[in-house]
Structure 1
């Protein structure tokens, strides 16, 4: 019997559950734990292999009869915004973004709850408490940042004006050796007309460029899923297939 080295990850498989993206399909995931001093190195390798991080877990789809989920990364080093994206950047030029260590706040959680209640009432995260949110942010063994997006002089929901500006969006992102991985992001539903989801992606592309990192990892794309359509707008981008990462073309 061969003993496995302590630092070697062990992988586990979940039971089937209804797919959140495709009706009539069931999903399974393979996952492992990201803990200890090798967590950052392992997270880099697994993300490049199509895994995503949630707290101290790295997972990827392992569905028996479906391969619809495709890992997507933007080639930030070659990216140039199109006309629509330049309008988005201009429209949101009054936003100030600041990067912090991955620490939660009650202000973030209030915005998170507004976002879930407006956008994901029946999703798997809909019943997350403030403690659950804190775990989502803090439970990480890899280099992780939280980015707050604010508008100065804009009143908060209670009518007061915060000195640092109204918080309208938040992104939780991992800093990897070859890029940024957007773990989760959310925004104030009252500002939906600003396309803040796209704005945060554009901001991450610039942050990757500023760090000299070639990629921004967006997670999974499912062809035919309206929830995922926005991801293919940011090009050039690579999709992970059987032979590795390939440039995506329509």
Structure 2
């Protein structure tokens, strides 16, 4: 059903659900109204309907959050669930070796989306949590995937994010030089991109085991201290995990 303004009821519901993120887990109805740009009375009505179906949850203080049924529906059918299930043995192996943050991420709508993160008690600071979204050019796990996309997608990203042209990475130079280096070496490793004293390292997971036209469909990454004692082992371990996951997702045919 369309509103006189031309938007549909689904448009409004999606804006309400999208107002929540890692920093805004609970919101008042008035805040939802403002963030979703929906009249307050309409927001109250939609929140009531969504709460009845447990898509949203009302808290005792009057705020609202995402409901358990929404999580249940996503957990049943999201493509990320299959990827995460296949990746867990390899993420566990990486985590067992380094005892820092180990992450699985995918590209979604010009952003990197964290699908899974394993951490230990003494892990370094890390802003990425499960379901966190970040611009591709700001983190190693984004660059490792962007470098292995078709050229038109890379150019589209530059067009959509003109600020990327001014990016200069401490150890690799400008964005074009950095992506070229990642394509040549097969990994991204950047110091202090989001937090001082940390290093983010990432390798792509490909859509096929062989071929020149391979495309990254995910990335496995770690965040470690810059002076990490096992720094030299990070990339070989990540590459082994990536190859294992690629084989699990795209097994080679049995010889005849």
Q: Which has the higher helix share?
A: 2
Return the TM-score normalized by structure 2: 0.29
Decide which structure has the larger Cα Rg and report it: 2
Q: Which has the higher strand share?
A: 1
Return the TM-score normalized by structure 1: 0.29
